[in-house]
Amino acid sequence: MLSIILPVYNEENNIERAYSAIREVLAPKGIDFELVFVNDGSKDNSFEKIRGLSETVRDAKIIGLSFSRNFGKEAAIFAGLSHATGEVCAVMDCDLQHPPETLLEMYELWQQGFEIIEGVKRSRGKENFLYKAFAKLFYKLISRSTGIEMYRSSDFKMLDRKVVNEYIKLTERNIFFRALSSWLGYKSAVVEFDVKERASGVTKWSIKSLVSYAIGSITSFTTAPMQLITLSGVLFFLFALVLGVQSIVKWATGHALEGFTTVIILILITGSLIMISLGIIGYYLARIYEEIKGRPRSIIEEIVKSPN
């Protein structure tokens, strides 16, 4: 059976649409499937729609999980994977931006023995300029520091049961699905897809949430920013050596009072560098603090299942 995990946040108009679109693709091929909807604290009627589906649909298994509040897409993916029962699982957006037809291609690759099949964006679809530039910068940073190509990557993936079992064993709270699935290794393949327009509703990302998502995922995946601090420290030390020698020479030749501008500039630069560095260290400290508290990733308030 193929389990499809769909994170849901205010998607009341897309639930039934997602089910019919997926069934239309899978049923003719005789692929048995299960839909795991994870309601990530929606403020609309999304969960009522999911409950409705679980009561009426008979040709597929429907599981609906409902969080007590919005915990974010990563938490939703994790919970969905933990509750999926199929021997192969796919994660896709419920706004149908990830085309269900691609599931077939992924499924064939899985049958050929691939264990992670990654959906890669052929085109990024309609996104505004700022978003595109931001995404590019963000993924460049991650690619540089981890060596994993990320710009075109997405959360649209199919994973073998083996991989899912390893993934749900990971204990970190701040988890980054896109990057971790490649960290896990296994035999992987890539399928290209075109990002479609949202079926209905609006994107859940604001600039603010994007920035915090970016910082969160960078700090959860790499310590490169901390190495940057060391690097800037070394550069500054070299600079200090040169200026130090110059100051001593000036003092020895009796011109010591000059150079007040340099002093001001140096204080400003070192001051801001130290504060930025403390901030970066602070992010990692906060991460350690969050991890060490060991709180659950999400709270599941209610589970609905179709009877079959």
**Contact code string over 232-271 relative to ligand UDP, x by CB under 6 A:** ----------------------------------------
Q: Contacting ligand UDP (CB under 6 A), which of 23, 204, 250, 287?
A: 204
Q: Distances from the Cα of 99 to the Cαs of 22, 152, 174, 273, 308, in angstroms?
A: 9, 16, 28, 46, 27
Which does residue 205 touch among Mg ion, ligand UDP, none (CB within 5 to 8 A, set by kind)?
ligand UDP
Which does residue 79 touch among ligand UDP, Mg ion, none (CB within 5 to 8 A, set by kind)?
none
Q: Contacting Mg ion (CB under 5 A), which of 42, 46, 66, 97?
A: 97
Nearer to Mg ion by Cβ, of 9 and 221: the residue is: 9
Encoding tokens for residue 264? 């001001």
Nearer to ligand UDP by Cβ, of 71 and 114: the residue is: 71
Q: Contacting ligand UDP (CB under 6 A), which of 2, 4, 5, 11?
A: 11
Please tell me whether residue 50 binds ligand UDP under the rule CB under 6 A: no
Give the chain's largest Cα–Cα span: 93
Please tell me whether residue 155 binds Mg ion under the rule CB under 5 A: no
Chain residues 55-94 in contact with Mg ion, contact rule CB under 5 A = 93
Q: Contacting ligand UDP (CB under 6 A), which of 12, 34, 93, 115?
A: 93
Nearer to ligand UDP by Cβ, of 25 and 94: the residue is: 94
Cα separation, 110 vs 161, in Å, equals: 11
Please tell me whether residue 10 binds Mg ion under the rule CB under 5 A: no
Q: Shortest distance, CB of residue 243 to ligand UDP, whole angstroms?
A: 48
Please tell me whether residue 7 binds ligand UDP under the rule CB under 6 A: yes
Nearer to ligand UDP by Cβ, of 204 and 250: the residue is: 204
Q: Distances from the Cα of 20 to the Cαs of 15, 23, 50, 155, in angstroms?
A: 9, 5, 13, 21
Nearer to ligand UDP by Cβ, of 12 and 160: the residue is: 12
Three-state SS string over the chain comes to CEEEEEEECCCCCCHHHHHHHHHHHHHHHCCCEEEEEEECCCCCCHHHHHHHHHHHCCCCEEEEEEECCCCCHHHHHHHHHHHCCCCEEEECCCCCCCCCHHHHHHHHHHHCCCCEEEEEEEECCCCCHHHHHHHHHHHHHHHHHHCCCCCCEEEEEEEEHHHHHHHCCCCCCCCCHHHHHHHCCCCEEEEEEECCCCCCCCCCCCHHHHHHHHHHHHHHHCCHHHHHHHHHHHHHHHHHHHHHHHHHHHHHCCCCCCCHHHHHHHHHHHHHHHHHHHHHHHHHHHHHHHHHHCCCCCCEEEEEECCC
Nearer to Mg ion by Cβ, of 16 and 108: the residue is: 16
Q: Shortest distance, CB of residue 198 to ligand UDP, whole angstroms?
A: 6
Which does residue 305 touch among ligand UDP, Mg ion, none (CB within 5 to 8 A, set by kind)?
none
Please tell me whether residue 60 binds ligand UDP under the rule CB under 6 A: no
Q: Shortest distance, CB of residue 198 to Mg ion, whole angstroms?
A: 5
Q: Which residues bind ligand UDP (CB under 6 A)?
A: 7-9, 11, 40, 70, 72-73, 76, 93-95, 97, 203-205
Q: Which residues bind Mg ion (CB under 5 A)?
A: 93, 95, 97
